[in-house]
Structure 1
């Protein structure tokens, strides 16, 4: 019988493996060893040892029999226990943070490097509020045990006095925002196929559904950072993967009941900052990307699952139209810059108020060249608009949204297969 995940000794790979020859009887009592307690763990950069979260939370877990995991392939497919990396190891892997940044959303610094033989990406975040060591360990342990094909896995973290470095698996791909908008060639997009966009929408919807309704871990989270720069599109099937899952929980972003003291806008940054006063002179700060923040998030600073639904709706409209959530265009008649919102233009298209007529078909990304099922496109636009409803109570849950998006993908697949050239017809471009 396969042992439980707690029975897997997935601590630092540098630790000495157990010798089963010295204990031929697996039922014999294990020798007593001293184990560190939670209160004795230090996260200071001077630590030279590596401690697994699982060892801190369950130091006396039984050792599984060597016959239980005879296959290395099976061991590789099981969830890994999170690791607390020494700060010195992070510095060494990133060459003291002098290596070039890798892909990242907003202005979050990130480095691609190799840690313990694994290709990873390290994100640097500031702590937004104070978090107890025990609470941080529990959150990290829970988030690292989550697994979903559409979520980039968190492997562990390194904690210093003011920063936390989150270590994620590196996934080769491109940000969705860059796939939709190429500054060097605005007329080109790799997502020129309707089915590829439905594939991305389906992956993101099911990833968020997993985050909101993770019954296997008996916990529910919100992502708080959904936007087109936090979605990585991979080749060759254009699958989408969600970045930064766990950042909001591990960095101590705001929770319900905190009072807003100050709001500030930065003209040169697409990020809105809300500062909250708490714990005396300390200030907790949360940032959200403009255009993706729900109305209640902007006014109260409270981000929850409904805020994720709103951000997903904006991303969906962005995926359908190819336009940015917020943009400014020069109006020749008025002689000034006019603000344009993808939500407003989508509503106008659905209600037939689009300038020049054409409705949804005209509103959709022109680079699709009218090659899409119009009924599916209209229904997908309506679902996205339901997600960005001003009233959070009227927004659907992600479990229902994911179901509808999956149906749209299947309908699009049937439509795509139906317009393909019959296999029994041959075409020759040779001269007659």
Structure 2
């Protein structure tokens, strides 16, 4: 009776499979630990849930080795009716084989056809092309889509192939040949033949490829011609997320890769391989595998379209899986389309009167998108009330088992919390001591699996604290793991700072601390993963800086300002960062800034305005004069660092090491001189001049100069900076900045006999390099 039910209701099959699996694990435990099993207070619960097959199943599970046979005798010694062990009848073996078959069968989706819905959200015609990867061909391999039109194509459940959109197509009235400017499949017809994929935006599918999972991706490896996304609907498991490229890259395409047409119009973007035909760009010869790395050209595609393939060996966030889904291929989606988001799993419901399935269509990402003929059900089958009644007792048994597992998990968490409490013992902030135990704790096995056992290919960077790795949790969430070096005292102090100060801080412009791992000799911090690395990676690179036009830079500056305002004023703790620099500002998928690295941070009381330290730690070029010379730090120290960062973002130049042919000033001095001479616009980096507002830029430079004034009392607070940036605060005229020249910066670090500055402790000066911490 179970097999027909399993065939007709996927959810029931999965629940039954889980129940069988958990039962099997329980009985294996009973064989290895019979005394613990029989003395357990949960034994009556297990007997009630599984009264009939329990004796035979325990016997069968324990027959696997001679060692467990002895345990069987102990188990049955407690049951007078089974005091002597006898071989179970053959029917039991058949029953166990049936259960194992059902377990395998229950997680394999049924073979129904999938639907590919092509939808044109562009303002012009699009001619989709389909290239089958096997002998299984769809009903058509090429057709026309008017703006706003949809078309549904059915394919077999194990179909493989590629899809794309052709643009600017025409048909010769004399020869009848059909050709397209981009995406042409070289068949001279509307239908495409098997000639290989064109160098355009490609969608790739392998349905029902492994364990019933569909594999799908959007590839820009061979080039780009128009925005395209793929959205699964009705999937039952896997990473069923909306992926693709929603950005119009033609307007941003580097000149070397642009495909022009007419009077300077760009209709496509070639790959670096097509443009240069070199092994290192094509990932061939000696440039395969790990040797094939992301370059500035492929980074252009990856940053604009994070969920798409950008080069042949791109392993990050590129191939996705889903089981039993239909797919929407949307051309020219809204630029605000949220990519990488898990789609709703649609469950069909049944009407007891009509018996017809009611379809629930999930909300679209954009009001311009249409789904006229799209089925939200996916490859699923209906279910009636009788089958629901069958699944209920199975689900109830599963719930009871989960309760027992939850009890064990809670006990394990309590042990980990004690470890964290012991590690942080001695923290000077009692208020925080009572709250940090709420920080989620990860076990070492989970983190090791997520980072592929801390593989070198997942290494993101290294610092005094240890090494940072990228990881992917089982639910698909990407994380960054900061692994503390066992010999690093600095790393231990930074760990305490991170946990003590920012575990409870929540702001959109602060990197989120997800939890920590304390197990054996390992101490790790787990953060949300930032795919676009740090800000310095963009503003100081000749190619990548072109991505940051003025609106993006202005948004980044305002985001950093809001994050600092939160730390200084709006958070439950008053935090001084002490190591603000562009290297410690990370960028998320949408280029929003997030302040990171609180290893040197300090907490102020409500009435405290400044503090003094004999051990100065920070980065040359960003530290304020009073902190670097006298060891005095306050919120105004962070304001100074913020001002330096703003000037670097505007100019695309580092303060430390800045050179100019006309003078020996550093970046602060150069910006001050230009401001005094009314030539501040000369400070702007070339990429920032695109779509810039002169009034915004002049205001931003003036605010930055106010922040880097020599005296802390002259600098504005971050709340005033936010008001001034929004146009609500009045702007004073800035005074001369601190460390006006590079020479002053050097004098702040020479022995006392060679400096006019009053030193506090030269031996305690600790400066980090300009590389990321």
Same fold (TM over 0.5): yes
Say if 2:462 is the partner of 1:109.
Answer: no
CA, structure 1 residues 42+175, in 2 after alignment: closer, same or farther (shift >3 Å)? closer
Which of these residues, 703, 706, 715, is aligned with residue 386 of structure 1? 706
- Once residues 147 and 190 of structure 1 are traced to their aligned partners in structure 2, the CA distance between those partners, rounded to angstroms, is 28
* Residue 140 (structure 1) shift: 2.6
Q: Decide which structure has the larger Cα Rg and report it.
A: 2
Q: What is aligned with 1:362?
A: 682
Say if 2:599 is the partner of 1:247.
Answer: yes
CA, structure 1 residues 396+99, in 2 after alignment: closer, same or farther (shift >3 Å)? same
Deviations 1:151-197, CA, capped at 9 Å, x for gaps: 110112235899853211112224221221225x48x5211x32221
Q: What is aligned with 2:697?
A: 377
Q: What is aligned with 1:100?
A: 457
Q: What is aligned with 1:344?
A: 669
Contact map agreement 1:222 1:305 (CA 8 A) in 2:
yes
Contact map agreement 2:443 2:519 (CA 8 A) in 1:
no
Q: Which moved more, 1:154-163 or 1:290-299?
A: 154-163
Q: Secondary structure at the match of 2:720?
A: helix
Q: Secondary structure at the match of 2:531?
A: coil
CA, structure 1 residues 213+369, in 2 after alignment: closer, same or farther (shift >3 Å)? closer
Q: What is aligned with 2:569?
A: 213
Aligned positions of 1:143-154 closer than 5 A: 143-154=502-513
Q: What is aligned with 1:299?
A: 629
Deviations 1:270-319, CA, capped at 9 Å, x for gaps: xxxx5xxxxxxxxxxx3x22211111221244443222111111111111
Deviations 1:32-61, CA, capped at 9 Å, x for gaps: x9999899923599xxxxxxxxxx9589xx
Unaligned runs of 5+ in 2: 1-396, 401-409, 423-432, 604-609, 729-773
CA, structure 1 residues 39+124, in 2 after alignment: closer, same or farther (shift >3 Å)? closer
Deviations 1:95-118, CA, capped at 9 Å, x for gaps: 454433555697773111134643
Q: Secondary structure at the match of 1:128?
A: helix
Deviations 1:52-74, CA, capped at 9 Å, x for gaps: xxxx9589xxxxxxxxxxxxxxx
- Once residues 39 and 83 of structure 1 are traced to their aligned partners in structure 2, the CA distance between those partners, rounded to angstroms, is 10
Say if 2:651 is the partner of 1:321.
Answer: yes
Contact map agreement 1:361 1:370 (CA 8 A) in 2:
no
Aligned positions of 1:12-91 closer than 5 A: 41-42=418-419, 57=434, 81-86=438-443, 90-91=447-448
CA, structure 1 residues 300+86, in 2 after alignment: closer, same or farther (shift >3 Å)? farther
Q: What is aligned with 1:4?
A: none
CA, structure 1 residues 330+306, in 2 after alignment: closer, same or farther (shift >3 Å)? closer
- Once residues 367 and 35 of structure 1 are traced to their aligned partners in structure 2, the CA distance between those partners, rounded to angstroms, is 53
Unaligned runs of 5+ in 1: 1-18, 23-32, 46-55, 60-79, 261-273, 275-285, 353-357, 409-432
CA, structure 1 residues 350+299, in 2 after alignment: closer, same or farther (shift >3 Å)? same
Q: Secondary structure at the match of 1:367?
A: helix
Contact map agreement 1:151 1:242 (CA 8 A) in 2:
yes
CA, structure 1 residues 37+190, in 2 after alignment: closer, same or farther (shift >3 Å)? closer
- Once residues 576 and 722 of structure 2 are traced to their aligned partners in structure 1, the CA distance between those partners, rounded to angstroms, is 16
Contact map agreement 1:105 1:230 (CA 8 A) in 2:
no
* Residue 330 (structure 1) shift: 8.1
- Once residues 539 and 595 of structure 2 are traced to their aligned partners in structure 1, the CA distance between those partners, rounded to angstroms, is 16
Contact map agreement 1:104 1:230 (CA 8 A) in 2:
no
Contact map agreement 1:102 1:112 (CA 8 A) in 2:
yes
CA, structure 1 residues 142+320, in 2 after alignment: closer, same or farther (shift >3 Å)? closer
Say if 2:721 is the partner of 1:401.
Answer: yes
Q: Which moved more, 1:392-401 or 1:156-165?
A: 156-165
* Residue 199 (structure 1) shift: 0.8
* Residue 359 (structure 1) shift: 0.6
Q: TM-score, normalised by structure 2?
A: 0.34
CA, structure 1 residues 34+233, in 2 after alignment: closer, same or farther (shift >3 Å)? closer
CA, structure 1 residues 102+34, in 2 after alignment: closer, same or farther (shift >3 Å)? closer
Q: TM-score, normalised by structure 1?
A: 0.58
CA, structure 1 residues 155+196, in 2 after alignment: closer, same or farther (shift >3 Å)? same
Say if 2:511 is the partner of 1:189.
Answer: no
- Once residues 321 and 129 of structure 1 are traced to their aligned partners in structure 2, the CA distance between those partners, rounded to angstroms, is 34
- Once residues 148 and 402 of structure 1 are traced to their aligned partners in structure 2, the CA distance between those partners, rounded to angstroms, is 15
CA, structure 1 residues 314+104, in 2 after alignment: closer, same or farther (shift >3 Å)? farther
- Once residues 295 and 250 of structure 1 are traced to their aligned partners in structure 2, the CA distance between those partners, rounded to angstroms, is 18
- Once residues 555 and 417 of structure 2 are traced to their aligned partners in structure 1, the CA distance between those partners, rounded to angstroms, is 47
CA, structure 1 residues 105+374, in 2 after alignment: closer, same or farther (shift >3 Å)? farther
Which of these residues, 638, 656, 668, is aligned with residue 308 of structure 1? 638
- Once residues 407 and 189 of structure 1 are traced to their aligned partners in structure 2, the CA distance between those partners, rounded to angstroms, is 27
Contact map agreement 1:127 1:163 (CA 8 A) in 2:
no
Equivalent pairs counted in the alignment come to: 302
CA, structure 1 residues 159+214, in 2 after alignment: closer, same or farther (shift >3 Å)? farther
- Once residues 503 and 716 of structure 2 are traced to their aligned partners in structure 1, the CA distance between those partners, rounded to angstroms, is 28
Contact map agreement 1:153 1:168 (CA 8 A) in 2:
yes
Q: Secondary structure at the match of 1:221?
A: strand
Q: Secondary structure at the match of 2:673?
A: helix
CA, structure 1 residues 199+89, in 2 after alignment: closer, same or farther (shift >3 Å)? same
Which of these residues, 124, 128, 149, is aligned with residue 490 of structure 2? 128
CA, structure 1 residues 404+242, in 2 after alignment: closer, same or farther (shift >3 Å)? same
Deviations 1:90-140, CA, capped at 9 Å, x for gaps: 45543454433555697773111134643210124544398699xx59x73
* Residue 369 (structure 1) shift: 3.7
CA, structure 1 residues 259+226, in 2 after alignment: closer, same or farther (shift >3 Å)? closer
- Once residues 462 and 634 of structure 2 are traced to their aligned partners in structure 1, the CA distance between those partners, rounded to angstroms, is 20
Deviations 1:340-363, CA, capped at 9 Å, x for gaps: 5211111001001xxxxx711112
CA, structure 1 residues 161+210, in 2 after alignment: closer, same or farther (shift >3 Å)? farther
Contact map agreement 1:172 1:234 (CA 8 A) in 2:
yes
